[in-house]
């Protein structure tokens, strides 16, 4: 049977991890919120990065973001109990290239790639990139419950958790804010280096699903095609099995699916594959 080559919204042919051309139908999957439950989100832990670092994430927003209470991702440093959270003025990066943008409330010594159009992030598919090359990054201050200002800049503490689809105001252990209903998340990569603009543009131009230009410095690579029962134990001895999404970097930094109902891991995996993950590209 003849197959149809898949093209993205820009008419570009897309390739899989193996280099094969995607054909229709291609079963893209992603993590999404499910308000029937409580709101699923992904927690990635078990790593540690200090600047420079870069987070790259494909998202499909079902609503325009006009408030900073709609988190797409958050970073957490348990050492100093602080959170770096995306907002359009604190480091999110979206479609429509506008490089070397300096976020309001932030200094000029760090450069973010803002692909937005001012203060509103439009709904649609975006490549969110947050790259840091200095400690001068705004952070959420747990004590004062506020953002901005040099006193709340992030120190040199390592980032050791990334939350996808969730952020927090109230505390650093669990989210009090989730992405808006229907917002979805596809491939997400963390690097322990400052990605070049050329590397970001490469990913942007090739669309969701394709391998990055290089895996040099890759910390994790979460490609949410399916939920699995994964071993989160340090010794990899099967003593800590959880429902999650596999890390394709080879570093075993899997993403745990949070916010889903309690039950056996097998039940959570089955539920996640049927209700939490759904097609990223419709």
Report which of 177, 84, 78 is spatially closest to residue 128, judged by C-alpha positions: 84
Between CA 230 and CA 210 the distance in angstroms is: 24
Between CA 92 and CA 131 the distance in angstroms is: 9
Question: Nearer Cβ to other proteins, position 137 or 195?
Answer: 137
**Residue 170 CB, nearest approach to other proteins (Å):** 6
Of 182, 241, 270, 279, the one binding other proteins (CB under 8 A) is 270
Secondary structure letter of residue 276 according to DSSP:
I
Report which of 213, 184, 201, 191 is spatially closest to residue 15, judged by C-alpha positions: 213
Question: Nearer Cβ to other proteins, position 51 or 88?
Answer: 88
Between CA 212 and CA 209 the distance in angstroms is: 9
Residue 97 to residues 60, 61, 116, 127, 150, Cα–Cα distance (Å): 17, 18, 8, 10, 27
Instruction: Write the binding mask 95 to 114 for other proteins: x where contact by CB under 8 A, - elsewhere.
Output: ---------xx---------
Question: Nearer Cβ to other proteins, position 118 or 149?
Answer: 149
> Candidates 11-19, 62-70, 110-118, 250-258 — which segment interacts with other proteins by CB under 8 A?
62-70
Question: Nearer Cβ to other proteins, position 251 or 275?
Answer: 275
> Candidates 4-12, 108-116, 141-149, 221-229 — which segment interacts with other proteins by CB under 8 A?
141-149
Residue 266 in the binding site for other proteins (CB under 8 A): no
Q: Are 79 and 155 in contact (CB under 8 A)?
A: no
Residue 39 in the binding site for other proteins (CB under 8 A): yes
Residue 36 in the binding site for other proteins (CB under 8 A): yes
Between CA 268 and CA 39 the distance in angstroms is: 14
Question: Nearer Cβ to other proteins, position 237 or 262?
Answer: 262
Between CA 64 and CA 122 the distance in angstroms is: 4
Question: Nearer Cβ to other proteins, position 169 or 202?
Answer: 169
Which residues lie near other proteins (CB under 8 A)? 35-39, 67-69, 89, 104-105, 144-149, 169-170, 260-264, 267, 270-271
């Amino acid at each position: 049977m003849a197959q149809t080559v898949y093209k993205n919204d820009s008419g570009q042919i897309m390739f899989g991890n193996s280099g094969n051309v995607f054909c229709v139908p291609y079963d893209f999957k992603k993590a999404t919120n499910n308000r029937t439950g409580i709101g699923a989100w992904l927690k990635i832990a078990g790593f540690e990065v200090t600047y420079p670092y870069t987070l790259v994430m494909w998202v499909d927003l079902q609503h325009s973001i006009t408030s900073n209470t709609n988190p797409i991702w958050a970073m957490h440093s348990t050492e100093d109990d602080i959170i770096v959270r995306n907002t359009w003025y604190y480091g999110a990066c979206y479609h429509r290239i506008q490089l070397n943008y300096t976020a309001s409330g932030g200094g000029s010594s760090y450069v973010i790639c803002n692909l937005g159009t001012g203060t509103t992030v439009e709904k649609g598919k975006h490549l969110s990139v947050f790259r840091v090359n200095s400690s001068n990054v705004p952070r959420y201050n747990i004590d004062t419950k506020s953002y901005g200002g040099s006193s709340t800049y992030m120190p040199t503490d390592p980032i050791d958790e990334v939350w996808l689809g969730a952020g927090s105001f109230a505390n650093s252990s669990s989210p009090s804010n989730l992405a808006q209903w229907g917002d979805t998340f596809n491939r997400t990569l963390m690097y322990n280096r400052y990605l070049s603009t050329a590397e970001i543009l490469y990913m942007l131009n090739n669309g969701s699903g394709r391998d990055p230009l290089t895996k040099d410095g890759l910390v994790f690579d979460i490609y949410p095609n399916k939920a699995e029962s994964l071993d989160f134990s340090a010794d990899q001895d099967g003593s800590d099995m959880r429902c999650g999404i596999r890390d394709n970097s080879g570093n075993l930094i899997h993403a745990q699916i949070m916010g889903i109902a309690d039950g056996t891991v097998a039940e959570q995996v089955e539920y996640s594959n049927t209700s939490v993950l759904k097609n990223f590209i419709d």
